[in-house]
């Protein structure tokens, strides 16, 4: 028997997953990661029969990993990636750094590779910050943080930044995913559902007009 | 009579049923409403949908944002517990290591089985679907026609509550007047696909799903379903009055605490228990069907998972509804001098002719949806519309290279974000590099809800390469021999997938969609693996000829007249429809026959 793959059932949770181009690449990544030496924790998973009707927070089901310096760097990076604006809070304000800690601390094989990428990346970015500015990443000014991240986010990063750029991309994906799955993030992206209601009225007229249906 | 423990078993029951899902639930309902004493053996634990389901929880309320893990293989909040493709201690094997020849087997070990977390899509098989040999010269004609089962489709739909519309489609039958509940309004993406899909020949209509869009009519439906049976009518009316219509939020796969959607436990088993005629024994892993001296089924041996001890339940008749392949496994493991190759297997056909839906998918980014005005389009927790199969004329002329057809299910819109919600955003936004900061937030909002994905589900006729048998060596943690699967796609399925991909591409392009998948024309790489759609059926197929089938038209085994099948095992093929509704309709029809035979003294 093989490990579960990221292939959806047709008539079930379906679709979101069909749509996601990244699904295939995640599956491919998993294979590498299982083999990776990620120094993963000895914690157990939540098991096949967890209490579903409960609110969990990072640290509830397995111990977290980050040291205080790692945590500071993570918070700072989260907020460069998702800063606060007039309409919505920053990523760290809704605890995305704790989610990333939970993710890389998980005992499951799919997260093991991320554990290594993130822990090594946090070390790398503090070293790079020290080399450029003689400070840790969290201590940099907003302009310095932006300058460094802009280099990492470039379409063709310099060869010496390649490792940092791969880390930044994965960190960005986890940060944004972690953010948009919180109530504040859902509001920020424009998801307004999950509200029980007595009727379903269908699309409003302005939505129909938007796509030329009214 | 309630949920019991094994020390509370009665000496004997009229009927012992293995499995509490769609088929077992329907059978228990039908029999107990008519006064029979019934026992259900369920391998999983009891489950209370009202206290255990997390309907309104967000991903951020779950570990890892609710993403799939080896423990919860469809995500944290999916209503499947102790279930999955891989269950520790309960292995199965594949004869071939080649991925394309692999069969994947989902098992649901909980009260109510897979009905807890399914998509609730309830399309009827059409007249052609029962007669593939007559129509295409391939596969096997079922020993029943659409007309035989149509009244049972009506009854099941009235009982469980199905929304949808009657569109007069060829081979996708309407329900009788007054049976369906009103279909919900379509969402923007569904309406947009309906308009622009026409250019590519897609005829988009409301889908049928087992979700209440209004209260059930407890004043009239019970009398239609149980004429002349005042007690059954009263019990059913009570049950219907405790169900709420959909409150237009949350994913149906999480289970439904308000009982708006059908699952076996809240819709079938609850009234069945209320009759006082049903015992349910959870945590009972069936091992073997036993025979008496006359060669009739006498009951079922099981392992009590709470004690590890073996027990035996006696019945005048036995119904297997453990899920198609688990029922097959039971038959093959029930060996005796009369049936050395497994019970009811004089034909040698037990385990043969497994089929699954033929499936592939493709998705696109629809620029027309960018910047959509914000609105709530959760709706009824799943699709409101679908693309039925309409190319019957081409297909009858043999122009397509495969028998039968496929329907398309699709999803669109402003769904609850998951961890992967921004995946692919850089290329979607035309950005060279990795977006972050204010620009990321802006693009995430602008492009959210612009993906549209289509997935096909098509006909599969049986072939000799798809079958199962007992693995000669391996046993599960209960000491029960496990199944070994063989799987081979034929050119028909691969041709169908090629056609699916082309057609979906045309529909997406008609909407101005940017196809996200890289071009890959190899259908063997695009087809979903055998079993992966979780529509596996067959293995104890029904037929008119006992030499080449396992049951007759009543899902009654040819060899053992008091042994019946009530899951997908008797299916002689997979239609381009989801199988659950047909499992229930066949089970109801089977149960009526079983009672007739008992009354006549034949059982």
Express each pLDDT in B432-453 by its tens digit: 999 999 999 999 999 999 999 9
Averaged pLDDT for residues B203-208: 98
Chain-wide mean pLDDT for chain A? 85
Nearest-CA distance A42 → chain B (Å):
16
Query: In angstroms, rounded to a whole number, what is the distance separating the alpha carbons of residues B166 and B370?
Result: 33
Query: In angstroms, rounded to a whole number, what is the distance separating the alpha carbons of residues B30 and B14?
Result: 13
Give the H/E segment covering residue A142: helix A142-152
Asked whether the predicted pLDDT for residue A10 surpasses 50, the reply is: no
**Residue B466 near residue B355 (C-beta atoms within 8 A):** yes
Find the residue in B nearest to A108 (Cα).
B69
Residues A4, B63: C-beta atoms closer than 8 Å? no
Query: In angstroms, rounded to a whole number, what is the distance separating the alpha carbons of residues B317 and B369?
Result: 57
Over B465-478, what HEC string results?
CCEEEEEEEEECCC
Confidence of residue B521 (pLDDT cuts 50, 70, 90): confident
**Residue B589 near residue B583 (C-beta atoms within 8 A):** no
- pLDDT for A14 equals 39
Main-chain dihedrals φ then ψ at residue A150, nearest 5 degrees: -60, -40
The CA-CA-CA angle for residues A123, B425, A155, to 5°, reads 55
Express each pLDDT in B225-277 by its tens digit: 999 999 999 999 999 999 999 999 999 999 999 999 999 999 999 999 999 99
Q: In sequence order, what DSSP letters do the residues of B170-222 get, joined into one string?
A: TTBPPPPTTTSBPPPPPPHHHHHHHHHHGGGT---EE--BSB-SS---TTTHH
B437 burial level (CB within 10 Å; 0-12, 13-18, 19+): middle
Find the residue in B nearest to A167 (Cα).
B434
Query: In angstroms, rounded to a whole number, what is the distance separating the alpha carbons of residues B255 and B258?
Result: 9
Q: Which of A181, A3, A11 has the alpha carbon at shortest distance from B71?
A: A3
Taking the Cβ of residue B16 and every Cβ of chain A, the question of whether any pair is shorter than 8 Å is answered with no
Superfamily of domain B6-49+93-414+449-599: FAD/NAD(P)-binding domain (3.50.50.60)
Chain A hits for B92, Cβ within 8 Å: 1
Nearest-CA distance B54 → chain A (Å):
4
Chain B hits for A21, Cβ within 8 Å: 363, 423-424, 516-517
Express each pLDDT in A36-94 by its tens digit: 334 445 678 999 999 999 999 999 999 999 999 999 999 999 999 999 999 999 999 99
**Residue A27: CB atoms within 10 Å:** 15
Residues B424, A20: C-beta atoms closer than 8 Å? yes
First-to-last CA distance in chain B?
A: 24
Find the residue in A nearest to B415 (Cα).
A191
Query: In angstroms, rounded to a whole number, what is the distance separating the alpha carbons of residues B194 and B186?
Result: 10
Question: What Rg, from alpha-carbon coordinates, does chain B have?
Answer: 24
Chain B hits for A17, Cβ within 8 Å: 420
Taking the Cβ of residue B76 and every Cβ of chain A, the question of whether any pair is shorter than 8 Å is answered with yes
Q: Which of B411, B396, B303, B432 has the alpha carbon at shortest distance from B364?
A: B411
- pLDDT for A42 equals 62
Q: Which of A177, A69, A164, A52 has the alpha carbon at shortest distance from A117?
A: A164
Query: What's the residue count for chain B?
Result: 603
ipTM of the complex as predicted? 0.94
Express each pLDDT in B346-372 by its tens digit: 999 999 999 999 999 999 999 999 999
Nearest CB partner across the interface for A181, out of B58, B70, B375: B58
Question: What Rg, from alpha-carbon coordinates, does chain A have?
Answer: 20
The full set of domain ranges for chain B reads 6-49+93-414+449-599
**Residue A131 near residue A160 (C-beta atoms within 8 A):** no
Residues 6+ apart with CB under 8 A from B112: B20, B21, B25, B47, B49, B263, B264, B265, B266, B269
Quick check: helix, strand or coil at residue B298? strand
Q: Which of A52, A96, A146, A209 has the alpha carbon at shortest distance from B253?
A: A52
Query: In angstroms, rounded to a whole number, what is the distance separating the alpha carbons of residues B562 and B557?
Result: 8
Residue B187's Cβ-side half-sphere holds a number of Cα atoms within 13 Å equal to 29
The full set of domain ranges for chain A reads 12-210
Nearest CB partner across the interface for A52, out of B76, B532, B533: B76
List, as ranges, residues 13-52 from A with C-beta within 8 Å of B.
13-23, 26, 45-52
Q: How far is CA B27 from the centre of its chain?
A: 16
CA torsion B170-B175-B176-B178 (nearest 10°) is: -140
**Residue B42 near residue B280 (C-beta atoms within 8 A):** yes
CA torsion A86-B423-B502-B129 (nearest 10°) is: -100
The more confident residue out of A172 and B519 is A172
Chain A hits for B440, Cβ within 8 Å: 81-82, 172, 176
pTM equals: 0.94
Over B410-475, what HEC string results?
EEECCCCCCCCCCCCHHHHCCCCECCCHHHHHHHHHHHCCCEEEEEEEECECCCCCCEEEEEEEEE
């Amino acid at each position: 028997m093989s490990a579960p793959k990221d292939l959806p059932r047709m008539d079930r949770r379906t679709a979101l997953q069909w749509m996601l181009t990244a699904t295939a690449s995640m599956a491919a990544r998993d294979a590498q990661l299982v083999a990776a030496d990620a120094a993963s924790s000895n914690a157990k998973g939540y098991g096949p029969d967890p209490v579903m009707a409960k609110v969990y927070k990072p640290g509830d089901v397995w111990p977290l990993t980050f040291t205080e310096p790692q945590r500071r760097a993570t918070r700072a990076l989260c907020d460069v990636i998702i800063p606060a604006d007039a309409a919505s809070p920053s990523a760290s304000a809704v605890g995305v750094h704790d989610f990333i800690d939970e993710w890389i601390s998980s005992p499951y094989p799919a997260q093991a590779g991320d554990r290594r990428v993130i822990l090594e990346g946090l070390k790398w970015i503090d070293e790079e910050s020290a080399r450029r500015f003689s400070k840790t990443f969290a201590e940099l000014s907003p302009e310095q943080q932006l300058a460094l991240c802009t280099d990492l986010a470039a379409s063709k990063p310099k060869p010496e930044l390649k490792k940092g750029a791969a880390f930044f991309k994965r960190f960005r994906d986890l940060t944004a995913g972690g953010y948009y799955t919180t109530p504040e993030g859902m509001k920020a992206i424009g998801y307004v559902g999950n509200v029980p209601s007595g009727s379903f009225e269908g699309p409003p007229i302005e939505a129909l007009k938007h796509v030329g249906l009214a | 009579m309630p949920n019991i423990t094994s020390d509370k078993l009665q000496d004997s029951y009229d009927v012992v049923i293995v499995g509490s899902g769609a088929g077992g639930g329907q059978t228990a309902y039908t029999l107990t409403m008519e006064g029979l004493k019934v026992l259900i053996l369920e391998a999983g634990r009891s489950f209370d949908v009202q206290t255990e389901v997390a309907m309104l929880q967000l991903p951020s309320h779950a570990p890892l944002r609710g993403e799939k893990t080896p423990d919860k293989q469809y995500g944290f909040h999916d209503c499947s517990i102790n279930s999955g493709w891989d269950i520790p201690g309960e292995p199965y094997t594949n004869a071939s290591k080649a991925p394309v020849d692999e069969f994947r087997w989902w098992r649901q070990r909980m009260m109510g089985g897979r009905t807890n977390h399914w998509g609730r899509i309830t399309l009827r098989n059409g007249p052609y679907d029962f007669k593939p040999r007559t129509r295409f010269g391939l596969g096997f004609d079922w020993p029943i026609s659409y007309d035989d089962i149509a009244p049972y489709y009506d009854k099941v739909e009235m009982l469980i509550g199905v929304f949808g519309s009657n569109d007069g489609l060829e081979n996708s039958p309407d329900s009788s007047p007054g049976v369906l509940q009103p279909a919900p309004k379509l969402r923007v993406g569904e309406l947009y696909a309906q308009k622009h899909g026409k250019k590519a020949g897609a005829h988009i209509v409301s889908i049928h799903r087992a979700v209440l869009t209004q209260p059930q009519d407890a004043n009239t439906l019970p009398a239609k379903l149980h004429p002349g049976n005042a007690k059954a009518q009263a019990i059913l009316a009570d049950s219907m009055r405790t169900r709420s219509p959909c409150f237009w939020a949350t994913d149906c796969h999480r289970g439904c605490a308000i009982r708006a959607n059908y699952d076996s436990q809240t819709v079938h088993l609850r009234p069945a228990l209320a009759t006082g005629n049903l015992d349910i024994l959870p945590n009972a892993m069936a091992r073997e069907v036993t025979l008496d001296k006359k060669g009739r089924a006498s009951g079922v041996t099981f392992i009590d998972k709470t004690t590890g001890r073996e027990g035996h339940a006696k019945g005048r008749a036995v119904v297997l509804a453990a899920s198609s392949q688990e029922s097959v496994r039971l038959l093959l493991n029930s060996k005796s001098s009369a049936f050395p190759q497994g019970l009811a297997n004089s034909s040698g056909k037990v385990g043969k002719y497994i089929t699954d839906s033929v499936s592939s998918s493709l998705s696109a980014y629809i620029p027309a949806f960018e910047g959509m005005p914000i609105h709530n389009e959760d709706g009824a927790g799943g699709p409101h519309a679908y693309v039925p199969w309409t190319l019957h004329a081409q297909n009858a002329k043999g122009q397509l290279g495969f028998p039968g057809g496929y329907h398309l299910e699709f999803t669109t819109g402003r769904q609850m974000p998951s961890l992967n919600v921004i995946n692919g955003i850089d290329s979607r936004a035309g950005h060279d590099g990795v977006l972050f900061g204010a620009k990321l937030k802006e693009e995430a909002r602008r492009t959210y809800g612009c993906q549209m994905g289509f997935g096909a589900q098509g006909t599969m006729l049986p072939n000799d390469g798809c079958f199962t048998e007992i693995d000669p060596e391996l046993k599960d943690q209960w000491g029960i021999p496990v199944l070994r699967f063989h799987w081979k796609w034929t050119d028909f399925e691969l041709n169908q997938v090629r056609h699916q991909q082309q057609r979906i591409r045309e529909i997406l392009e008609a909407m101005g969609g940017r196809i996200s998948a890289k071009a890959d024309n190899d259908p063997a790489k695009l087809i979903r693996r055998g079993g992966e759609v979780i529509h596996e059926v067959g293995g104890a197929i029904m037929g008119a000829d006992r030499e080449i089938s396992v049951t007759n038209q009543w899902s009654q085994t040819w060899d053992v007249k008091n042994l019946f099948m009530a899951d997908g095992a008797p299916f002689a093929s997979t239609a381009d429809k989801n199988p659950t509704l047909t499992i229930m309709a066949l089970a109801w029809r089977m149960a009526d026959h079983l009672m007739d035979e008992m009354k006549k003294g034949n059982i």
